[in-house]
A = this chain, B = another copy of it.
Amino acid sequence: MSHTVEILSVGTELLLGNIANTDAQMLSQGLSGLGLNVYWHTVVGDNPQRAREAVAIAKQRADVIITTGGLGPTCDDLTKNVLAEAFGKKLVFDEDSAQRIRDWFARNKRTMTDNNLQQAMLPEGCTVLVNDWGTAPGCAFQAEGVHVIMLPGPPSECRPMFLHRAVPYLQTLSEGVIASHTLKLFGIGESSMEAQLRDKMNAMTNPTLAPYAKEGECELRVTAKAASDEEAQALLRPTVEQVKQLFGPLVYGVDVPSLEAVVLEGLKSRGLTLGTAESCTGGLMAKRLTDISGASAVFKGGIVSYTNEVKAQLLQVPAPLLRQFGAVSAQVAAAMAEGARQALGCDVALSSTGVAGPDRDENGNEVGTAFVAIAVPGETYVRPLRLGTRPMRERIRTQVASHAFDLVRRYLSGLPYQD
């Protein structure tokens, strides 16, 4: 039997548009991966009556209800109260949860107020979903043929609570095994990838192929359902190989977290160190590298040279070069990367320079014009970029940083810098 899921988000901040419902997106991705059908998203505010009505509707049409938000003291634990009431359950005090809340406040040296302890009141007989990422525990129960799972609203809690608490619970609902692999591609647009795959995608039923576009990168998820993991893997293998062959060097990894993770891993395995010199990305490359724990084994450091003065002094970019070609030029990108190798004493250095917008630079370079360079022993390569004037500042910066990482990946794999 196939389960149908409703995601019910509680929070006035969603209805006021203060935040987008990224929890629902994250959950939808994860639930689809588990083979569960998400048919409805509903959002209501911190209002008991409307929350009650929404739960009554969800109860009729879905057999799994996953709630986000409304578990904290500021909303009087609205979600828990309403769901418990809808399924005729009492709230009972859970001493384990209470102790965890007390510990959390002690550890974080915050003052606990009475309403914080209200979070330890949970529906009788529920499975407590321990929250190691915040104070409000989640919970799960089954009643009247419906599975109810309640998760906290803040994305930094909702995501790990889903992955580490809800998924194990939900996996028992899914019959058979769902297995999937995700191929990550850089350097191709979503529509171009889809056009090349469309016939294949439409003809497939098990495994299935699903494309996703994400911040200038593409992902292809191959998913198979079978009685056992071995069978599912056997179904997946030929498709993964076919897609890898089809897209060749554009595929930078399978089941890898990110381009920067692949780059760090590749450098680490060769014992090479990395440094960065950033102008238009303004620290984003360094930030993305150091988002990954353990980066310090490879990444020595970076220089954000937002002015020509800093480019000249810390990266030794020759002043005549800056005058003649301007800061946004292939020549300066190359000099920055070489200067960073020297200044930071690293094996491989990356640089970026470009116009992130919203306006052209003083030399008339259009928004989206950029150069990324890689300097390795005995060689420097510059990739010119034209990212179009349409993307916004943030997207341009992300793209430029990704192109720089792509150069390292290609260097490590012995691929040409440009296809």
Contacts and interface: CB of A to CB of B under 8 A. Distances in A.
A40 B43 contact: yes
A401 to B, nearest CB: 10
A362 to B, nearest CB: 11
Nearest to A160: B392
Contact of A295 (B30, B54, B282, B394): B282
A192 B115 CA distance: 11
A79 B77 CA distance: 36
A156 B395 contact: yes
A99 to B, nearest CB: 15
A300 interface: yes
Given A286-B286, A301-B304, A306-B299, A191 B16 contact: no
A386 interface: yes
Interface in A315-352: 343-345
Nearest to A44: B40
Interface stretch (A18-26, A90-98, A165-173, A241-249): A18-26
A142 interface: no
B304 A113 contact: no
Given A41-B14, A287-B282, A304-B304, A107 B389 contact: yes
A388 B17 contact: no
Given A40-B50, A195-B113, A25 B32 contact: no
A38 B16 contact: yes
A397 B290 CA distance: 10
Given A296-B307, A301-B306, A28 B17 contact: yes
19 contacts: A15-B28, A15-B39, A17-B25, A18-B29, A21-B21, A24-B43, A73-B191, A73-B194, A74-B190, A107-B388, A283-B285, A284-B287, A284-B290, A293-B358, A300-B307, A300-B310, A301-B307, A304-B304, A314-B314
